[in-house]
Each structure stands twice: as C-alpha cells, then as structure tokens.
C-alpha cells in the first residue's frame, strides 16, 4: 500500500532520486518492463460478427428456419411462391440492421469519451523538467502537478502548496480534496480518505506540487475499474428475457402442433409433401414475425429521445430497462451532476439583488476575479477556465461581462497571497496599484463581515453600522434558504504594507462588497 509507506521506503522500493528523477536510459528500460501508461481497451468486434449476433434471439432463429424451409419447399414444388419467405427475411434483416446501426453510434460516442485523458506530463529526467507524453511515464518518475492539469498516473505526493484535487470521477465527491506530503498508517483507508496520493484521471483544481509515480496504466485505481468493465458482460435485460421466453414457448408449441398435424395427415394418407408444407405454414403463422421489427423501432425511438437529452444508450434493450425502473437510489455527487457552478445573482452591500452587472457589481466581479486561482485561456476560439468549481464560476461570470483575468492581472499584478484555509474560511491576495496596494479578501460572508468597518456602494464607501450589518445578514439568510452558495468580497487600498504580512495584519478594516453564487 503506497500511502502507508514513508517517502524513504518509496524511494528505495522504486529505486529513484527525488531531486534528479530518473535518467532517460533508466526510463526506457522501465518502459520495456512495465509497458505504456495507458488503459487497455476492449477488442473491437468485427462488424460482420456484430451483425451475426443480432440473430441470436430464439424467435428470430425459428423465423429464419421457417423462411428457409418454406422457400425450399416452394422451389421443390415449382410453385414459385416466395412472398412469405421474402417478407420474413426482410423483417429479420431490417431488425438486425437497426440494432447494428444504433450500437455503432453509441460505441463511437463512448470512444470519444474514452479519449479524455492527460496527453502530456511534466517529468524530471536527468535533473531537468521536461514535457513528455503521459504514456511514456514509468514508476519512479518525478512529475510536476499544476492547477488545471489531469493527474497522469497514481503517485505519492512529495511536496504540495495549497494542492487540491477533484476526485469525483473515482469517489463521486464534488468537493476537491486537499493533498499533503504526510505519512499515513491506515492500510484500510478508502480512496477518498487517502490525502497523500494523487490518482490518475483526477484533475488538479488548486495549487501545485511534486509527486513520484507509483502505478501506471491498468495498475492504477482507474485501471482496476477498467479491468472490471472489460471482463464484465451485461446481463440480459427484462425485455430480452421476456421476448426469449415468449419465443421459446411459441416455438415449442408451434413445433409440437406441426408434428401432430403432420402425423395426423400421414395417418389420413395425405401426401407427406402437402402435409409438410401445411405444417410449415402453421409454424410461420403461429410466430409473430412483425414483433422483432416493432420492438426494434420502438426502442430506437426511445434511444433517439435519450440522445437528445445527452444520454448515451449502447444497447437498444437497455432503454426498456431504464423505463421499467420504479426507484432510483442516488446521492448528490459529481457522478450524477456536471459538478459545475454558475453565478446566478449578484447582491451589493445595500441589499439590491440583480443578475445584471451594475457599476457596483462590475467592480465586485473585478475584485473576485483578481482574488482567484483559476486560470483563463483561449482554445479553438473558446474560453476555457481551469480550477476549482466555485472560482471557475466567478471567472465565467466575468467573461460573460467582458472582464478578463489576464487583462486585470496586467493592470493590477499580484504581489502576495494568503491561501484559503478552512479555519479562516478566507482567501486574500495583494495587488500593486500606481500609488500603493490593494488588498482583496473573499470568503464566507459571516466571517468576512466581522473584519469590515465600511461598505462599498455606487462608487462610494460608507461606515458599516449595526443596521447595515443586520441588513446584509438577513439578505444572506434569504439567499442561503434558496440553496445558494454565498461568497463575500471585500477590499482595502493602502499606501504601504506591514513589514510582516499575516492574516491578522491585513484582513482587517476592510471595505465590504458582496456577491452570491449558486451551486
């Protein structure tokens, strides 16, 4: 268990150097031993095999046998009546083609989702940090962890600066987990409780750090999940079971009746060829050849409706299973939600709630954008925000109002910061002005308001009295009752900074401004 080992034990076991990393020669040697750092994919089934599998249903097999026998007998008799056989075969093939098309569409969508991974990683080789393809990582590599990046492999944290990682893909918990280079002794700790490890496919929302790769590819936590998926075969759906039962019963009953009618005809000294054709006709008539086609069409309609709602259904019968569900048990986690937040309302210090950007609210967004660790970048003509969900929501709201973080940081460069701490429930940054400094603090409203002696409104600052404090707290309470997540913002412009910058020294006598964010 990597998380229960000390750093020194890991260094010896992996035969690595935390300061210089591995040499290129050693990395190449290990890659031959361990293979590439990637997840195995289930072998693709040949399209012909997929098509043949569409005919596995018992009812369809009976229909095909009946169609073949009917055609053969028509040929032997020289009647040329192949209409029944053609209709049966057409329906069966239509059913198979519909199922094959839908399955291929779903698989392509799933393949696109599978491509979401960390393409490159920053690794220390020969004492120098370089970018390599994440597939080339090996156990013992020393990698850099940075905000906005995916963790490329399971690794043990060596150093961390306010490092937080979102692990909802593995644990379902939406709240990022704080990671620290500490020793743990609990060898039964669950994934979500292991704070000294970072796991592949999770994303770094805040801070930075350094880690040593312990497991790669299919040996990672997500790799073990992939193994279960690769080895697991889906059970038959309720619809498949019912259709299978109906098909078998109809087939057995029809076959039994056909045999009885054939025997009776032979006893009555009717020509066996005539009786055989009569029996085959009864078999074809007894089996509802239109049923497979009707079921396929209805399920396809259901799949199409689900696709419009962004839900991918791989197998057609699964739609019926979902529709038959009466109770769905779930908890509110990132596995069932997008794990995204959005600014819903802005609330200034005078209690005016609005979703429009007034002068006061624009100033509020600028402050919240500066006091923020999320990064903003443009990719393929679209703005991409990377970081912690709450802070991402602020940056997105700013972009919607044409406020861009990089422009603000050029104008007001960050000189110092005091990271967010759960004990303080606050985060503070200090920015350079032309003639001084601006201190910006954001965090829990009930905590921040106690550190403010003034409030900002419409370009002016006024004294924060008891009435104003109560008014703000009442507004907070009303919004909190609507399940909104509240973030308060305050600032202070000063000519000089204290010789020792601490939260006690600079998070006081602030000017209160406020925004409310919805989960």
Question: Could you read off the pLDDT of 112-138 as tens digits, one per residue?
Answer: 545 555 578 899 998 888 989 888 999
Question: pLDDT-based confidence at 519, cuts 50/70/90?
Answer: very low
Name the CATH superfamily housing domain 47-112+234-324.
Calcium-transporting ATPase, transmembrane domain (1.20.1110.10)
Catalytic residue among 33, 57, 193, 331: 331
- Confidence (pLDDT) at 14: 93
223 CA to centre of own chain: 16
How confident is the model over 328-366, as pLDDT tens digits? 776 655 455 556 778 887 775 555 544 455 677 788 899
3-state helix, strand, coil in the chain (%, to 5): 45, 25, 30
Mind spelling out the 3-state secondary structure of 239-275?
Answer: HHHHHHHHHHHHHHHHHHHHHHHHHHHHHCCCCHHHH
Confidence at residue 384, expressed as pLDDT on a 0 to 100 scale: 83
More confident residue, 273 or 368: 368
> What is the per-residue pLDDT for 495?
93
The pLDDT confidence band at residue 278, using thresholds 50, 70 and 90, is confident
Domain boundaries 342-518, CATH class: alpha beta
Rounded to an integer, what is the distance from CA 108 to the centroid of its chain? 17
Query: Could you read off the pLDDT of 91-118 as tens digits, one per residue?
Result: 778 777 776 776 676 566 555 545 555 5
Kindly indicate the confidence band of residue 216, based on its pLDDT and cuts at 50, 70 and 90. Answer: very high
Establish whether 348 is a catalytic residue: no
Q: How far apart are CA 499 and CA 491, in angstroms?
A: 19
Mean predicted lDDT score pLDDT of the chain: 80
Instruction: Tell whether the model's pLDDT for residue 412 goes beyond 70.
Output: yes
Question: In the chain, which residues fall in CATH 2.70.150.10?
Answer: 2-38+117-229
Contact 114, 3 (CB under 8 A): no
User: Angle, nearest 10°, between helix axes 58-77 and 272-286?
Assistant: 150
Percentage of the chain beyond pLDDT 70 is: 81
- Maximum distance among all alpha carbons in the chain? 118
Helix, strand, or coil (residue 474): helix
pLDDT tens profile 11-34: 999 999 998 999 999 999 999 999
Q: Beta-carbon neighbour count of residue 162 at 10 Å? A: 17
Q: For the whole prediction, is pTM greater than 0.85?
A: no
CATH number of this structure's domain 2-38+117-229, picked from the four choices 2.30.40.10, 3.30.365.10, 3.40.50.2300, 2.70.150.10: 2.70.150.10
Could you give the count of Cα atoms lying within 13 Å of 107 in the half-sphere of its Cβ?
A: 15
Across 39-43, 386-390, 426-430, the highest mean pLDDT is recorded for: 426-430
**Residue 268: pLDDT above 60?**
yes
Strands 342-347 and 142-146 turn out to be: unpaired
HSE, side-chain direction, 13 A CA sphere, residue 399: 17
Contacts of 1 (CB under 8 A, 6+ apart): 187
Q: Report the alpha-carbon distance of residue 360 to residue 483 in Å, rounded.
A: 24
Q: Specify the domain boundaries for CATH 1.20.1110.10 within the chain.
A: 47-112+234-324
Q: Give the DSSP per-residue string, 175-221.
A: SPEE--------TT--GGG-TTEE-TT-EEEEEEEEEEEEE-GGGSH
* 28-49 pLDDT tens trace: 999 999 998 887 766 667 777 7
């Amino acid at each position: 268990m990597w998380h229960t080992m000390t750093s020194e034990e890991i260094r010896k076991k992996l035969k690595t150097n935390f300061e210089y990393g591995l040499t290129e020669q050693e990395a190449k040697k290990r890659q031959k031993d361990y293979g590439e750092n990637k997840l195995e994919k289930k072998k693709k089934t040949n399209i012909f095999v997929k098509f043949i599998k569409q005919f596995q249903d018992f009812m369809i097999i009976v229909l095909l046998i009946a169609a073949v026998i009917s055609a053969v007998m028509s040929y032997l008799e020289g009647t040329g009546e192949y209409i029944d056989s053609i209709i049966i075969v057409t329906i069966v093939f239509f059913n198979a083609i519909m199922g094959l098309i839908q399955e291929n569409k779903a698989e392509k969508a799933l393949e696109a989702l599978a491509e979401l991974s960390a393409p490159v990683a920053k690794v220390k080789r020969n004492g120098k940090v370089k970018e390599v393809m994440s597939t080339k990582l090996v156990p013992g590599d020393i990698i850099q962890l940075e905000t906005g990046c995916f963790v490329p492999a399971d690794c043990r944290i060596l150093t961390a600066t306010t490092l937080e990682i979102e692990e909802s893909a593995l644990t379902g918990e939406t709240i990022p987990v704080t990671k620290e280079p500490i020793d743990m002794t609990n060898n039964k700790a669950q994934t979500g409780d292991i704070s000294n490890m970072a796991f592949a496919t999770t994303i770094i929302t805040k801070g930075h750090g350094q880690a040593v790769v312990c497991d790669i590819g299919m040996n990672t936590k997500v790799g073990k999940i992939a193994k279960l998926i690769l080895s697991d075969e889906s059970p038959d759906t309720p619809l498949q079971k019912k259709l299978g039962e109906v098909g078998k019963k109809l087939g057995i009953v029809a076959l039994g009746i056909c045999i009885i009618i054939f025997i009776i005809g032979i006893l009555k000294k009717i020509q066996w060829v005539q009786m055989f054709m009569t029996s085959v006709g009864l078999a074809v008539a007894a089996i509802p050849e239109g049923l497979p086609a009707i079921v396929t069409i209805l399920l396809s309609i259901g799949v199409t409706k689900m696709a419009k709602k962004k839900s991918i259904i791989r197998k057609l019968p699964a739609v019926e299973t979902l529709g038959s569900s009466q109770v769905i048990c779930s908890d509110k986690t990132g596995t069932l939600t997008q794990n995204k937040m959005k600014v819903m309302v802005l609330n200034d210090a005078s209690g005016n709630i609005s979703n429009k950007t007034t002068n006061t609210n624009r100033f509020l967004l600028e402050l919240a954008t500066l006091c923020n660790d999320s990064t903003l970048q443009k990719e393929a003509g679209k703005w991409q925000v990377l970081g912690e969900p709450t802070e991402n929501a602020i940056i997105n709201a700013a972009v919607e109002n044409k406020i861009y973080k990089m422009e603000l940081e050029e104008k007001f460069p960050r000189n110092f910061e005091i990271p967010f701490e759960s004990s303080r429930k606050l985060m503070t940054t200090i920015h350079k002005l032309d003639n001084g400094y601006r201190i910006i603090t954001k965090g829990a409203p009930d905590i921040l308001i106690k550190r403010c002696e003034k409030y900002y409104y419409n370009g002016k600052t006024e004294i924060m009295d008891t009435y104003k404090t109560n008014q703000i707290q009442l507004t907070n309470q009303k919004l909190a009752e609507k399940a909104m997540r509240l973030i308060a913002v305050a600032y202070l412009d000063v000519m000089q900074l204290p010789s020792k910058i601490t939260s006690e020294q600079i998070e006081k006598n602030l000017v209160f401004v406020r925004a409310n964010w919805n989960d």
